[in-house]
């Protein structure tokens, strides 16, 4: 019973905990090794120095929102802490601070809390910035011989630069290593005392599928792998190959998947989860209306037969061979000879209005983001 409860908690954390560290870091081995080596050298330099005045290092991580910057940092600093646990007289302490909607006073307040510094201020008085800095500096000087700090500031683009530069300069010269993440590349030009910048690109499709499968196995044990493939396909079709949006879709899916039924997730449930989580990358009803306004009766019946085939099969994907067979059946039912290249023309038009989308995971296969009942509603209205 306890193991089941622990597994359920781990599944919840895999989707909803912003500090969750996956068991395997996919697609970032080179970047992780580079960052870990850089931080290891910095700790070694601190150990080799007899002075308490050794400066820290400042590293900026650049990349799109949801690209995995925080996951990379958390994985690296955790591994570094485990590696140095029995090798160093220094105690390594990792601190994470989210910069969203914070000014200097808020950032200092977070830092005080994470450093376990109890600074008592009168409730009615404004924050004493100078006094707070003096308290932080005094504590850090006392701890310099025993503790090496790595502070991770996430979403630094949300902080006014004049505050952040002051914060970074002070902490660096207190011997702290600073890791920063931003989704705005131009921030690098304005942040002072920057020692290293790392750019994180989007993932390869295979790596993104592996990341989603890894999280899905933890959050939804027994889930059909096609569900993860469908999520990555739907995101990449309209967005870019990054884990953030895919995990957002799984968050919406989570409450609907009761324990023990992860193997029976329907196409409609996945489509609804994608639309609710990421409405900006879903289908456009105006495009649907325009398609049906210009569609020939043969094209409409072909699409009707595709919907019927998808409902009967219960599959998330249809192969090109299956779709060609549906086209031939449509022509036969209308007593029409299949015309050269007409099938390809129909497929091109269905993809142009995003009724059908190409799979990146299964070449030669197609899927739809539009609910089948909605398509049938348009078909019925067109035929009438």
The residues, ordered by sequence, that sit 6+ positions from 59 with a Cβ below 8 Å of its Cβ are 35, 38, 177, 178, 179, 180, 194, 195, 196, 197, 198
- Residue 50, pLDDT score: 58
- Residue 70, pLDDT score: 94
- Residue 52, pLDDT score: 58
Q: Alpha-carbon distance 174 to 142, whole Å? A: 11
**What's the average model confidence in pLDDT over 288-301?**
89
- Residue 155, pLDDT score: 92
pLDDT band at 26 (very low <50, low <70, confident <90, very high): very high
- Residue 351, pLDDT score: 92
- Residue 326, pLDDT score: 96
The residues, ordered by sequence, that sit 6+ positions from 363 with a Cβ below 8 Å of its Cβ are none
Q: What is the pLDDT of residues 222-269, one digit of tens each?
A: 888 888 999 999 999 888 899 999 999 999 999 888 666 777 788 888
- Residue 241, pLDDT score: 92
Q: Note the helical H segments in the chain.
A: 2-16, 29-48, 69-84, 104-114, 129-143, 161-172, 205-219, 225-238, 243-253, 267-277, 285-294, 297-313, 320-333, 342-352, 372-383
Of 89, 81, 100, nearest in space to 149 by CA: 81
Q: Please name the fold of domain 28-199.
A: Rossmann fold (3.40.50)
- Residue 127, pLDDT score: 66
Sheet with 196-199, edge to edge strand ranges: 91-98, 147-154, 177-182, 58-62, 196-199
Q: What is the pLDDT of residues 189-222, one digit of tens each?
A: 667 778 888 999 999 999 999 999 999 999 998 8
What count of Cα atoms within 13 Å lies in the side-chain half-sphere of residue 263? 3
- Comparing 35-39, 208-212, 274-278, 351-355, which segment has the lowest mean pLDDT? 274-278
365-367 and 318-319 as β-strands: parallel, antiparallel, unpaired? antiparallel
The residues, ordered by sequence, that sit 6+ positions from 218 with a Cβ below 8 Å of its Cβ are 10, 11, 14
Q: Alpha-carbon distance 347 to 334, whole Å? A: 19
- Residue 300, pLDDT score: 93
CB atoms within 10 A of CB 333: 12
The residues, ordered by sequence, that sit 6+ positions from 275 with a Cβ below 8 Å of its Cβ are 282, 283, 369
- Residue 160, pLDDT score: 81
Strand partners for 125: none
Of 238, 221, 222, 227, nearest in space to 314 by CA: 227
Give the whole-number percent of the chain exceeding pLDDT 70. Answer: 91
Q: Is residue 373 predicted with pLDDT exceeding 50?
A: yes
Higher pLDDT, 163 or 208: 208
Pick from 18-22, 258-262, 320-324 the range whose average pLDDT is largest: 320-324
pTM for the model? 0.85
Q: Is residue 188 predicted with pLDDT exceeding 80?
A: no
Q: Alpha-carbon distance 11 to 183, whole Å? A: 27
pLDDT band at 162 (very low <50, low <70, confident <90, very high): confident
CATH class held by domain 285-383: mainly alpha
- Comparing 257-261, 295-299, 330-334, which segment has the lowest mean pLDDT? 257-261
- Residue 197, pLDDT score: 87
Q: Is residue 126 predicted with pLDDT exceeding 80?
A: no
**What's the average model confidence in pLDDT over 151-158?**
90
pLDDT band at 366 (very low <50, low <70, confident <90, very high): very high
- Residue 349, pLDDT score: 92
- Residue 2, pLDDT score: 46
* Cα 255 to chain centroid, rounded: 19
Q: Is residue 1 predicted with pLDDT exceeding 50?
A: no
Domain ranges of the chain: 28-199, 205-281, 285-383
pLDDT band at 114 (very low <50, low <70, confident <90, very high): confident
Q: Taking CA 229 as the corner, what is the angle to CA 277 and CA 64, rounded to the nearest 5 degrees?
A: 55
Q: Which two tokens stand for residue 83?
A: 């590696």
- Residue 90, pLDDT score: 72
Q: Mean pLDDT score of the chain, rounded to an integer? A: 85
């Amino acid at each position: 019973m306890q193991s089941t409860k622990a597994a359920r908690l781990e599944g919840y954390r895999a989707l909803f905990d912003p500090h969750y560290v996956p068991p395997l870091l996919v697609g970032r081995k080179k970047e992780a090794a580079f960052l870990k080596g850089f931080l290891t050298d910095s700790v070694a330099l601190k150990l080799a120095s007899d002075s308490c005045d050794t400066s820290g290092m400042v590293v900026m991580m650049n990349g799109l929102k949801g690209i995995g910057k925080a996951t990379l940092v958390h994985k690296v600093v955790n591994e570094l802490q485990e590696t140095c646990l029995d090798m160093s007289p220094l105690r390594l302490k990792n601190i994470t601070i989210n910069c969203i909607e914070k000014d200097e006073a808020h950032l200092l307040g977070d830092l005080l809390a994470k450093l376990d510094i109890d600074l008592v201020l009168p409730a009615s008085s404004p924050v004493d910035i100078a006094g707070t800095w003096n308290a932080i500096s005094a504590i850090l000087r006392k701890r310099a011989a025993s503790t090496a700090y790595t502070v991770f500031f996430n979403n630094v683009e949300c902080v006014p630069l004049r505050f952040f530069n002051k914060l970074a300069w002070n902490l660096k010269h207190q011997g702290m290593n600073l890791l920063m993440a931003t989704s705005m590349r131009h921030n690098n030009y304005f942040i002072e005392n920057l020692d290293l910048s790392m750019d994180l690109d989007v993932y390869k499709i295979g790596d993104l599928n592996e990341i989603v499968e890894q999280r899905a196995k933890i959050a939804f044990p027994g889930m059909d792998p096609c569900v993860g493939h469908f999520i990555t396909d739907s995101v990449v079709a309209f967005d870019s190959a990054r884990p953030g949006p895919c995990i957002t879709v799984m968050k919406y899916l989570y409450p609907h998947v009761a324990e023990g039924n992860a193997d029976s997730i329907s196409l409609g449930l996945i489509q609804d989860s994608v639309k609710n989580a990421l409405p900006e990358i879903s289908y456009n009803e105006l495009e649907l209306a325009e398609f049906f306004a210009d569609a020939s009766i043969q094209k409409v019946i072909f699409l009707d037969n595709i919907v019927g085939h998808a409902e009967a099969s219960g599959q998330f994907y249809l192969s090109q061979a299956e779709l060609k067979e549906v086209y031939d059946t449509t022509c036969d039912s209308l007593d029409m000879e299949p015309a050269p290249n007409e099938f390809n023309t129909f497929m091109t038009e269905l993809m142009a209005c995003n009724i059908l989308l190409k799979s990146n995971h299964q070449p030669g296969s197609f899927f739809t983001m539009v609910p089948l009942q909605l398509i049938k509603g348009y078909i019925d209205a067109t035929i009438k």
